[in-house]
A and B are shown apart, each in its own frame.
Chain A
Amino acid sequence: MKREPRKKAKRSQPSKGRAVTRPRAVRRAVTRAAAKKAAVPAQIPLHDMKAEESKYYMGVSEPVYQKSFAQELQQGELPGRYDEDVLVLQIRDPWWAHSYWDVNQATLARLKQDVGPAWGGCRWILRAYDISFINFDGTNAHRFFDTEVDLDARNWYLNFGSPGTSWCADLGVLLADGRFITVVRSNTIMLPLDGPSWVTDEEWMIPDDDFRRLYGMSVGLGSRVSSPVGKLWQERLKRDVSSRGLASMGVSSPVKKAKGKAAFWLVADCELVVYGATEPDARVTIQGRPLTLRPDGTFTLRFALPDGKQVIPVEATSAKTGEKRSVTPTVTRRTTRQP
């Protein structure tokens, strides 16, 4: 068994928040005492002898991770923007998408120059084009809608209101005379349907009524559903059966938390410490069970103390002479509660 030589506790870094100021000496003392205890054949079922092997394990070898880099990373901040022409649409659900954008300084300067004196009267606009089932050439959209934005907000949620359609958007300026100048065009998105498709497949045809029953079964609402099939999904959503809605990592449990805001409360309990000392090589029992002495002959035991009377005979037998001594504390606990 190798024990790490005692070192000055070296902190790899003075980290914010989760600084681990670990009382090494204290931990060491605790584990060492525990290791001794575990080594004695004993009062506890020990299919457990390997425990001591790790008692002196003090962690890892010194990390190569260096202070300067760690601090640099912790104190560094991501830039607010990358000074580029970009507009991205991302689907949030069948109705909404998130957009973020940025406009390069040079682009902006050029734009101001092009627009000239009319610059003062123009507004920044997100123009969303419905381009479902077409090759969009900039002019042939089925329809479009405008959303006035603050250029510096650099992101916005757009409600398209029509699941199953395809969209792209332009960020640009709308001049006082109604002219729209595109500065940057987004990617294209296709919003998912919020219900089953109306397209059917000849080879895999299914009658509507059968499909409705199957759909009800599929979303866990049973086969006797009455709503039209398009509404069932919304019903299912209301039932809240999402999975990863439960956090992993103990953030949440499948069981509802007891109470949200509990009323005023109080918890009080009692434990009893029995301690003492004798010759280090004496045999000692407490309530008839053997206990382990520290090297100096002292001992400490700790008990959860229930209501009622506890008779606690402590008996020691000398290893040299066989002589016996006993001390028997009797403790009674009675708890009252109000209200």
Chain B
Amino acid sequence: MLKGYLCVVLHGHLPYVRHPEHDDFLEEDWLYEAITETYIPLITMFERLERDGVRFRLTMSVTPTLASMLTDPLLQDRYLRHINRLIELSHKEIERTAWLPAFNKLARMYLSLFSEARDVFERYDRDLTRAFKRFQDSGNLEIITCGATHGYLPLMDVTAPSVRAQTKTAVAHYQKVFGRPPRGIWLPECGYQPGHDEILKECGLKYFFSDSHGILHGTPRPKYGVFAPVYCKTGVACFARDMESSKQVWSSVEGYPGDYLYREFYRDIGFDLEYDYIKPYIHPDGVRINTGVKYYRISGSTNQKEPYDPDAAREKAAEHAGNFMFNREKQAEYLYDALGRPPMIISPYDAELYGHWWFEGPQWLEFLIRKVTFDQKSLRMVTPSEYLAENPKNQVLTPSMSSWGWKGYSEVWLQGTNDWIYRHLHKASRVMTELVRQNPHVHGLKRRALNQALRELLLAQSSDWAFIMATGTHVSYAQRRTKEHLLSFFKLADGVRADGVSEPFLRDLESRDNIFPDIDYRVHQ
């Protein structure tokens, strides 16, 4: 008998990092690592489930920046170069570890993972959005959109046209990539500001997600806590995160990923091996970086590092999946009695957690899906659309402003290290609105300049830059990105106003910041 719904949401996002002006660019590795370690393992999991006739129901955001990078020919070529280097390295590693059987086994594991990654990549014609689309079209995956460049919307509240531009551009891009309009949206950083649901409604979006307190602190009180969605006054539904299931995966103390049988993220041969040997596989200027080849498992407080044992780790992942399911069954049973209706349990995670940090994460998820499908009857995995279709009657309330960042509001993106950016972002946003008003119908060079100006503004708005400034690594890169997009924006704006757009400058920007080729600047109003 049905006692509860489980809705697992993966938030797949990376900021737009693409530098044709450099042959090799450190921050582009974020994408390449995520492809090998997260997106491809998820795709092969979907393939296995489908092959075995498992009807899985997962919700996943593929942000417009991520989708744009996955469909970009330059980055596709570079990923191939990247994975080929890793394949070459793992061949060398198999040779080098000939006298260390435990490591040799791992070197072979990496060769097979990397080779499989390349095969999958080629199989989908180097465009992984096709893979995600395939599983959406087959009715298993529900792909949702996000802000166009993952701009944190509550800190754009004073410039509402930017909130609209972020949303409309995202929806149009989704339509182009996935061949249908999106039903839901992952608000960047789960950042909800009351009133923004009006813009979501305008864009045809039916639902979004918030953190727990989005609903819990909404007005009036939510009768079902976070265990049922609510409607905003606009009719857009809001689903809130369940903390209990979240912390089992996220928590640094109680979370599964810290288990001693799992792979250690921090020991990488890019740092561990002799310099001349590893040099061709680290950054070309000689700086040691992670290669993705990691041989150790997480160890306790002792210094003794044990080699990773994939079989033992897999067993553990299965056990953890069983534990997670057991806890959800108990939770659903309790809530079913308390609420008088089956609770909706929302478990959202950063997709890149799976595989990239938590190497065994995709295995865990696959075990979970299979177990929920075959081993019990009280839980059902659903997507938000499916839930709403079955349960259309829900309370109406105004969710509270909230985010899923540290402390639950905007402090991550608004603090001493990054608060200086908003003066400039808001100024640019007001200038953009003004330009749209003054130039409702323009063509040729001016139109191109206005479109590019909006691209630059959107790119400057990515919450990732403020986030990186706050966390303290890659800070100069984040500052540089913010500054350069804004400077480009202002230069274009000056050109438009003076009727003197420099075509070579514009052309260069178009080729470098080439995101959203079909953008329409008029969405910024």
Contacts and interface: CB of A to CB of B under 8 A. Distances in A.
Chains A and B belong together in one complex: yes
Interface of A: 12-13, 15, 17-23, 27, 30-31, 34, 37-38, 43-45, 47-48, 50-51, 54-55, 57-60, 63-66, 69-70, 73-74, 76-78, 81-82, 84, 88, 90-94, 98, 100, 102, 154-155, 187, 190, 192-201, 203-206, 210-211, 213-215, 217-220, 222-223, 233, 236-237, 239-258, 271, 287, 289, 301-306, 310
Do most interface residues of chain B lie in helix, strand or loop, or is the interface mixed?
Answer: helix
Contact of B243 (A201, A236, A244): A236
A63 B511 contact: yes
B224 interface: yes
Given A54-B80, A211-B221, 6 more contacts: A57-B77, A76-B483, A195-B217, A217-B244, A244-B412, A254-B250
Contact of B405 (A74, A82, A242): A242
Contact of A206 (B23, B223, B348): B223
Interface string B259-298: 0001011100000001001001000110000100000001
B508 A66 contact: yes
A48 B87 contact: yes
A220 B277 contact: no
Interface string B390-428: 000001010011111111111110110001101110110
A27 B264 CA distance: 30
Given A201-B221, A217-B244, A302 B216 contact: no
Given A60-B74, A193-B400, A220-B246, A255 B265 contact: yes
B414 A90 contact: yes
Interface in B26-62: 26, 30, 33
Residue among B221, B348, B395, B464 having the largest count of chain A Cβ atoms under 10 Å: B221
A192 B217 contact: yes
A-B pairs, 4 with minimum CB distance: A220-B243, A204-B223, A254-B257, A93-B409
B217 A196 contact: yes
A217 B84 contact: no
Contacts of A187: 158
Given A60-B77, A310-B99, A19 B358 contact: no
Nearest to A211: B221
Nearest to A65: B21
A27 B412 contact: no
Size bracket of the B interface: 35 or more
A81 B252 CA distance: 42
B266 A251 contact: no
B155 A90 contact: yes
Nearest to B188: A244
A220 B244 contact: yes
Contacts of B488: 73
B99 A93 contact: no
Contacts of B331: 217
A190 B157 CA distance: 11
Contacts of A12: 21-22
A247 to B, nearest CB: 5
A249 B335 contact: no
A223 to B, nearest CB: 7
B408 A244 contact: no
Contacts of B20: 60, 63, 65
17 contacts: A15-B22, A20-B24, A43-B95, A55-B84, A59-B78, A60-B20, A74-B480, A78-B486, A90-B410, A91-B401, A192-B402, A196-B216, A200-B221, A211-B221, A239-B247, A248-B14, A248-B350
A82 B423 CA distance: 9
B484 A73 contact: yes
B233 interface: no
Interface stretch (B176-184, B313-321, B363-371, B467-475): B467-475
B353 interface: yes
A205 B223 contact: yes
B414 A69 contact: no
Contacts of B226: 218
Nearest to A220: B243
B242 interface: yes
Contact of B280 (A27, A51, A77, A195): A27
B154 interface: yes
A21 B285 contact: yes
Contacts of A193: 217, 219, 400
Residue among A31, A77, A243, A257 having the largest count of chain B Cβ atoms under 10 Å: A243
B156 to A, nearest CB: 10
B444 interface: no
Contacts of A60: 20, 23, 74, 77-78
B203 interface: no
B223 A250 contact: no
